[in-house]
């Protein structure tokens, strides 16, 4: 799926060990001027939902003085999307009470998120769902950052040109309806999608490799200038990608 280059592209994610417990949040903000900003942070005692909200708040918070444009924000949190696009109107009308008459959880974060949504106008936000652990590099990278902060490791954050970024932000999911609950993702193996099995190819230093997962691919291209990498769903698509790189498809190293 192609994203309009004049749009602002954002990926967000939250993580928590214990829920409640130590947590982390992460965002990737890709601007039309060709720069990418990775953001991340954590809290010693929190919940996964609070971290999902924090990721979106911080991502929108770095945007300023925007012209009319589209902000496309990908998240695997149905709680975040439904909350900001559906539930919040009822919460406000009931004085921040839910349908059962109880106080809305995380009210202060919902109010701050609402302020950020208003602040970025006249830009409009498209809240898009990405299935967690489905192999899309932006989501996978946010998960890696969020988990690092949740576990106290504080992954180094990238700020720089998109051309030098080791994450393929061109690989974004097609629009899909929200699931009724957040799916549990596999941490290993290749992802199954309509049309075949996902794999990744990378090319750097004259070496062409195929990878079963984004994590494997990222290890090869992260921090490497001029590295090429792409997610592919079939042998035909892989061959087309390699030919576009000027590489012999028969030279793939497994």
HEC-encoded secondary structure of the chain: CCCCCCCEEEEEEEEECCCCEEEEEEEEEECCCCEEEEEEEEEEEECHHHHHHHHHHHHHHCCCCCCCCEEEEEECCHHHHHHHHHHHHHHHHCCCECCCCCECCCHHHHHHHHHHHHHCCCCEEEEEECCCCCCCHHHHHHHHHHHHHHCCCCCCCCEEEHHHCCCCCCCCCCCCCCCCCCCCCCCCCCCEECCEECEEEEEECCEEEEECCHHHHHHHHCCCCCCEEEEECCHHHHHHHHHHCCCCHHHCEC
Mean pLDDT of the chain: 85
Q: Cβ(167)–Cβ(138) under 8 Å? A: yes
**pLDDT at position 9 over 70:** yes
**pLDDT at position 204 over 80:** no
Cα dihedral value 127, 12, 48, 191, nearest 10: 90
**What's the CA gap between 51 and 198, in Å, rounded?**
29
**What's the CA gap between 249 and 254, in Å, rounded?**
12
What's the confidence (pLDDT) of residue 19?
Answer: 81
Q: What is the mean pLDDT of residues 121-129?
A: 95
Q: What is the mean pLDDT of residues 196-211?
A: 76
Dump pLDDT digits (tens) for 130-156: 877 778 889 999 999 999 999 998 889
**pLDDT at position 110 over 90:** yes
Which are the catalytic amino acids?
A: 13-14, 52, 76, 133, 143
| Highest-pLDDT range among 39-53, 120-134, 159-173, 182-196 | 39-53
Q: What is the mean pLDDT of residues 217-242?
A: 77
pLDDT band at 29 (very low <50, low <70, confident <90, very high): very high
What's the confidence (pLDDT) of residue 187?
Answer: 33
**pLDDT at position 5 over 60:** yes
Domains and CATH numbers, the chain: 1-175 (3.30.420.10), 190-254 (no CATH)
Supply angle C-alpha 70, 177, 94, rounded to 5.
80
CA 115 to chain centroid, in Å, comes to 22
Dump pLDDT digits (tens) for 171-202: 888 776 665 543 333 333 333 333 346 678 88
pTM: 0.74
């Amino acid at each position: 799926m192609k994203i309009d280059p004049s749009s602002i592209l954002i990926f967000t994610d939250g993580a928590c060990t214990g829920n409640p417990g130590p947590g982390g949040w992460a965002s990737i903000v890709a601007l039309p001027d060709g720069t990418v900003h990775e953001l991340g942070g954590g809290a010693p005692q929190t919940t996964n939902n609070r971290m999902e909200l924090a990721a979106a708040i911080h991502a929108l918070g770095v945007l300023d003085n925007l012209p009319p444009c589209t902000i496309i924000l990908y998240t695997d949190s149905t709680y975040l999307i439904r909350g900001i696009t559906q539930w919040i109107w009822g919460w406000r009308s009931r004085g921040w009470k839910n349908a059962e008459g109880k106080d809305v959880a995380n009210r202060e974060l919902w109010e701050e998120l609402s302020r950020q949504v208003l602040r970025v106008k006249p830009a409009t936000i498209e809240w898009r769902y990405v299935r967690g652990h489905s192999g899309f590099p932006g989501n996978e990278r946010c998960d890696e950052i969020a988990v690092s902060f949740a576990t106290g490791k504080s992954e180094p954050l990238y700020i720089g040109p998109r051309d030098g970024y080791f994450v393929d932000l061109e690989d974004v999911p097609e629009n899909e309806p929200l699931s009724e609950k957040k799916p549990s993702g596999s941490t290993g193996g290749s992802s199954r999608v309509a049309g075949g099995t996902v794999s990744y190819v990378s090319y750097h230093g004259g070496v062409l490799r195929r990878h079963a997962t984004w994590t494997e691919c990222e290890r090869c291209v992260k921090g490497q200038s001029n590295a090429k990498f792409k997610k592919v769903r079939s042998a035909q698509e892989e061959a087309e990608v390699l030919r576009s790189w000027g590489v012999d498809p028969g030279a793939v190293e497994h």
